[in-house]
Amino acid sequence: MPNQGDAAGGAVGAGSAPETPYGGRAAVRVEGLWKRFGEQVAVAGIDLELPAGRFIGLVGPNGAGKTTTLSMVTGLLRPDMGRVLVAGHDVWADPVAVKSRIGVLPEGLRLFERLSGRELLGYMGRLRGMPGDETDKRATQLLDVLDLAGSQHKLVVDYSTGMRKKIGLAAALLHNPEVLFLDEPFEGVDPVSAQTIRGVLERYTASGATVVFSSHVMELVESLCDWVAVMAGGRIRAAGPLALVRGEAPTLQAAFLELVGAGGRTAGESLDWLGGQAAR
């Protein structure tokens, strides 16, 4: 099982995508990334290389630092220390180059609530500098594939949780980014919508693009991802191709519990008051 090692050293010039230890280009390269909130260290100096053209899962228990890491990688949160390169461009030194190449579906997605789904995509297209007719064409296709065509004129404020995820995903995909970052994309999404989202993402990665998504749902990560990074306590515990990280363990879930040191944790006797037979 490969533990997190140092990122292969050397400065990377803007636009040059470095090789990963597993071959191929790196979509994302993280070097010595730190973030502290007061006394709380959220991300404790991580190095990570995510290969291009893969379906990558970032997994970890609650509070592991996944959202903080994704926020720093996508330019939403400034690191205390360290550097992030996306497609060879420095996220903080060259934000426009990076933001034109990425799509983001963040946690706690904020949308323009008083626009309809269709208007939201039109607005995103303009922000991205896309020609109106191309935006219209792509918006129609995305709304159709994501099963939102019937709700396209409804205000976003009236969308359900799953519909919000789907319109957020459409907005993140509209400009055909090289790398797509998704924070818990399947949370609150029903199985039918999840299957739809999954189909769109599989098609997207099959064309050579990269998806990086965070999730707690190991079965989902195991069935979707070919590459995983496991985070706990603000550090990367393991990262690499799925089969390597899973190692001898029967499932990714078992490997994960072993890696984050929770394999033997049970309620034990500490909840002996709980249940029908206990004294009330």
Ligand X SMILES: Nc1ncnc2c1ncn2[C@@H]1O[C@H](COP(=O)(O)OP(=O)(O)OP(=O)(O)O)[C@@H](O)[C@H]1O
The two tokens of residue 185 are 């994309």
Are the beta carbons of 188 and 161 closer than 8 angstroms?
yes
Interface with ligand X includes 67 (CB under 6 A)? yes
* Smallest gap from residue 147 Cβ to ligand X (A): 27
Binds ligand X (CB under 6 A): choice among 37, 114, 199, 203: 37
Interface with ligand X includes 42 (CB under 6 A)? yes
Interface with ligand X includes 168 (CB under 6 A)? no
The two tokens of residue 247 are 């190692």
Do the strands 227-232 and 235-241 form a parallel or antiparallel pair, or are they unpaired? Answer: antiparallel
* Smallest gap from residue 143 Cβ to ligand X (A): 29
**Nearest to ligand X of 42, 169 (CB atom):** 42
Interface with ligand X includes 73 (CB under 6 A)? no
Interface with ligand X includes 40 (CB under 6 A)? yes
The two tokens of residue 95 are 């934000």
Query: Biggest alpha carbon distance in the chain?
Result: 69
| Local structure of 269: helix, strand or coil | helix
Radius of gyration of the chain (CA): 20
- The one segment of 36-44, 48-56, 81-89, 123-131 that binds ligand X by CB under 6 A: 36-44
Q: In the chain, which residue ranges form alpha helices assigned H by DSSP?
A: 66-73, 95-99, 117-127, 132-145, 161-173, 191-206, 218-224, 242-246, 252-259
* Smallest gap from residue 215 Cβ to ligand X (A): 9
Interface with ligand X includes 215 (CB under 6 A)? no
**Nearest to ligand X of 85, 260 (CB atom):** 260
* Smallest gap from residue 40 Cβ to ligand X (A): 5
Interface with ligand X includes 78 (CB under 6 A)? no
Interface with ligand X includes 64 (CB under 6 A)? yes
Binds ligand X (CB under 6 A): choice among 9, 10, 62, 265: 62
Backbone angles phi, psi at 255, to 5 degrees: -65, -40
- The one segment of 13-21, 37-45, 97-105, 115-123 that binds ligand X by CB under 6 A: 37-45
* Smallest gap from residue 26 Cβ to ligand X (A): 22
Short-list 30, 193, 190, 164, CA closest to 105: 164
18 secondary structure, DSSP code: P
Interface with ligand X includes 188 (CB under 6 A)? no
Q: Give the rounded distance of the alpha carbon of 228 from its chain centre.
A: 11
Binding stretches for ligand X (CB under 6 A): 37, 40, 42, 60, 62-68
